[in-house]
Amino acid sequence: MTKEAILGAIRRGLKRGPLPADQQAMLEGRLATHPRHLIPARSRLPRPDQVALFIRNVEKEFGTVERVPDLAAVPAALADYLATQNLPPRFALAPHPEFEAIPWAERPLLDFERRRAQATDQVSVQHGWAGIAETGTLMLPSSPHRPTTLNLLVETEVVVLRASAIVGAYEEAWDRLRAESQDAVSGGFMPRNIMFVTGPSRSADIEQTLELGAHGPRRLHIILVDDDPAALPPGDAVAPPRTAEPGGLAPPGD
């Protein structure tokens, strides 16, 4: 059998047979305890600075961020963003229970369907599960409430993320997933798919020059809901809106 042939060849190379039981137990222990390695110090900051680092890193990678005080402010922020970008107020919305609490009726022009994305969709609104300050990265595990296609098929992806869901390093996000998630099929914690997204899609395949908007979204906009009082900037109830400075490279869209 091929599997036995490959394992046999590996063991011949290592000059041993199958691992003895005690060594197997040791390796199983390493898998079960999954020890952390060195984590870069850059994200070990007080909460307000951690959130600021997240925003800075998103903008460095040509994403945009707007802070709003609560979920009730999302419809207005979204409607204004779409209008500023000359985009239609029509979008596919992640069918996430948290979004039920959003007062969409306050902006009756917003026209949406709760579903996965289709090829003709221009805009999606996705639910952010975690933000990682170290590199300005969104963590988006798939689920019936968070379809993967919302991250891929549209020109513009808007992600609604709670500030309390921002962590410093990837390892903190994995630990939260291990604690909170239960997969019905495997019994483990991994869903079918987890996308870590850092800025909008891009390619440098033409003369090693970076251009935004390859096969995925051209624009990535984050509406950051300030649900974490400890993460607010000191002496500031709501931070001023920020815009990206693409710094010499092609800006998103037109």
The residue to which tokens 């994305």 are assigned: 117
C-alpha span between 59 and 52 (Å, rounded): 11
The residue from 73, 78, 153, 223 that contacts another protein (CB under 8 A) is 153
C-alpha span between 138 and 165 (Å, rounded): 10
Q: How far is CA 252 from CA 49, 69, 90, 126, 249, in A?
A: 26, 26, 20, 19, 9
Q: How far is the CB of 116 from another protein (least distance, A)?
A: 4
One-letter amino acid at 251 equals P
The residue from 42, 100, 106, 243 that contacts another protein (CB under 8 A) is 42
The residue from 72, 83, 238, 250 that contacts another protein (CB under 8 A) is 250
Q: Per residue in 11-32, is it b (16+ CB within 10 Å) or e — as a string?
A: eeeeeeeeeeeeeeeeeeeeee
The residue from 64, 126, 151, 156 that contacts another protein (CB under 8 A) is 151
Positions 62 through 91 that interact with another protein (CB under 8 A):
none
Give the gyration radius of the chain's Cα atoms.
21
Backbone angles phi, psi at 124, to 5 degrees: -125, 150
Query: 15 by DSSP, 3-state: which?
Result: coil
Q: How far is the CB of 36 from another protein (least distance, A)?
A: 5
Q: How far is the CB of 77 from another protein (least distance, A)?
A: 24
C-alpha span between 154 and 157 (Å, rounded): 6
Nearer to another protein, 219 or 239 (CB): 219
Q: How far is the CB of 106 from another protein (least distance, A)?
A: 27
187 binding another protein? (CB under 8 A): yes
The residue from 152, 176, 228, 246 that contacts another protein (CB under 8 A) is 152
Give 59-109 as a DSSP string.
Answer: HHTT-EEEEESSGGGHHHHHHHHHHHTT--SEEEE---GGGGGS-GGGSTT
The residue from 35, 229, 235, 248 that contacts another protein (CB under 8 A) is 35
149 binding another protein? (CB under 8 A): yes
The residue from 75, 128, 131, 147 that contacts another protein (CB under 8 A) is 147
Window 192-221: contact mask with another protein (x via CB under 8 A): xxxxxxxxxxxxxxxxxx-x-xxxxx----
The residue from 22, 184, 237, 248 that contacts another protein (CB under 8 A) is 184
The residue to which tokens 């291990």 are assigned: 178
21 binding another protein? (CB under 8 A): no
Nearer to another protein, 42 or 241 (CB): 42
Q: How far is the CB of 234 from another protein (least distance, A)?
A: 26
